[in-house]
Amino acid sequence: SQLAEENPWALSVHEGESVTVNCSYKTSITALQWYRQKSGEGPAQLILIRSNEREKRNGRLRATLDTSSQSSSLSITATRCEDTAVYFCATGGGNTRKLIFGLGTTLQVQP
C-alpha cells in the first residue's frame, strides 16, 4: 500500500471555481510538500508545510496539515486553465532526503 495517498483520484472544475485535494500519509514527518506536474514536465514544488505548522499559504494556494490524523489538504482558489496538472503530496526529504509520493490527483480545469 502507498505511504502517501491523494484523493480524489481525479477532479474536474471550471475556471474560477475552488478545489481541494486531500492527502493521507503513514509515516512520521518533519515536513510535507505539495508538488504539481504538468504534462511533459517534471514535478515542481508548490508548498512545503512543516510538522509544527497547521496552515501555509502561497498566493492562491493554501495547505493545511493535521499530524494527529496524518492528513493534509491543498486548496486552490480562483482556478485557471493553467492549473490543469497532477497534484502530489510528498513526505520524506528529511535525513533520508528521498521523497515518497502518492499516486497523485489529476485536476482538469475547463474554460
Q: Which is nearer to other proteins, 14 or 50 (CB)?
A: 50
| Cβ 47 to other proteins shortest distance, Å | 10
Cell of 98: 528521498
**Residues that bind other proteins in the complex, under the rule CB under 8 A:** 2, 31, 33, 40-45, 48, 88, 93-94, 96-104
Q: Which is nearer to other proteins, 52 or 111 (CB)?
A: 52
Q: Which is nearer to other proteins, 42 or 111 (CB)?
A: 42
| Cβ 105 to other proteins shortest distance, Å | 12
